[in-house]
Amino acid sequence: MRILLIEDDTTLGAAVRDQIAADGQSVDWVTRLDAAGDALRGASYDLILLDLMLPDGRGIGFLKALRARGDVTPVIILTALDQVSDRIEGLNAGADDYLVKPFDLSELSARIGSVARRYSGNPNPIITHGPLEIDLAAHSIYRDGKSVQLTAREWALFEAFLSRPGQLLSKPQLEDKLYAFGAEVESNTIEVHVSRLRKKLGSAVIETERGMGYRLGEP
């Protein structure tokens, strides 16, 4: 999952960025609304984390403009504004969730996962795929009843396939989900991760369309 973080507090922004990266997700961090607009024009995001008070304007106006042009990207507001009226305004503007600062980083991870599952059409964190039992909230997988350990990158890649069952995903699309702007990406990175997932989860878990990309295999 690729996330856009819009936050001008450098201490909090760095902490949130590191938390998202530790969860195996890709994150681009900007501190201004104009930079956020540029980022949205240059990449496709799965979720936006939005501060409301930014150097060049209010996040509410940015969110309203986003929804007015038909952009349905999930948005979680991160703000120090804790009045009920502030929450109502944010949710009515089109936010999917509202988290008041200071917050626990593990709670943020849980909120991100919850919103992402709702948008994928399955709010239940426990799913099965053939011999695999997957807990999306706990980031745990059991294969035939035995625990399987994935690295953060392997989990993020597998989650990308789970969220789009049957959909062919190209190598650039998968790299886009795993790496932020400017990150060094080796040419065979996706192939290596796919190979490792097949070894851990079963050879048929990911199908290859030669020259086109990959998709989640049939259960």
pLDDT digits (tens, 9 = 90+) for 28-43: 999 999 999 999 998 8
Residues of the chain within CATH 3.40.50.2300 domain(s) are 2-120
pLDDT number for residue 89: 93
Rounded to 10 degrees, the C-alpha dihedral 134/97/60/65 comes to 50
Q: What is the mean pLDDT of the chain?
A: 90
Fold of 2-120: Rossmann fold (3.40.50)
**From CA 83, how far away is CA 69, in angstroms rounded?**
28
Has residue 25 got a pLDDT over 70? Answer: yes
Provide the token pair at 33: 């609304």
**From CA 41, how far away is CA 74, in angstroms rounded?**
16
Q: Range with the lowest mean pLDDT among 16-20, 137-141, 198-202, 207-211?
A: 137-141
Fold of 126-216: Arc Repressor Mutant, subunit A (1.10.10)
Nearest residue to 15 (alpha-carbon basis) of 151, 108, 138, 137:
108
The stretch 33-54 carries a mean pLDDT of: 93
| Amino acid of residue 214 | Y
pLDDT number for residue 103: 94
Q: How far is CA 110 from its chain centroid? A: 11
Has residue 111 got a pLDDT over 60? Answer: yes
pLDDT number for residue 67: 95
pLDDT digits (tens, 9 = 90+) for 117-171: 887 766 677 889 999 999 887 889 999 999 999 998 899 899 889 888 889 999 8
pLDDT number for residue 182: 56
Task: Give the angle subtended at the CA of 34 by the CAs of 29 and 38, to the nearest 5°.
Answer: 70
Nearest residue to 134 (alpha-carbon basis) of 158, 154, 106, 168:
158
CB of 1 within 8 A of CB of 156? Answer: yes
**How many residues are recorded in the chain?**
219
CB of 169 within 8 A of CB of 215? Answer: yes
Residues of the chain within CATH 1.10.10.10 domain(s) are 126-216
**From CA 120, how far away is CA 132, in angstroms rounded?**
19
CA distances from 201 to 24, 142, 143, 145, 161 (A): 18, 9, 7, 12, 13
Has residue 172 got a pLDDT over 90? Answer: no
Nearest residue to 101 (alpha-carbon basis) of 52, 68, 29:
52
Has residue 178 got a pLDDT over 80? Answer: no
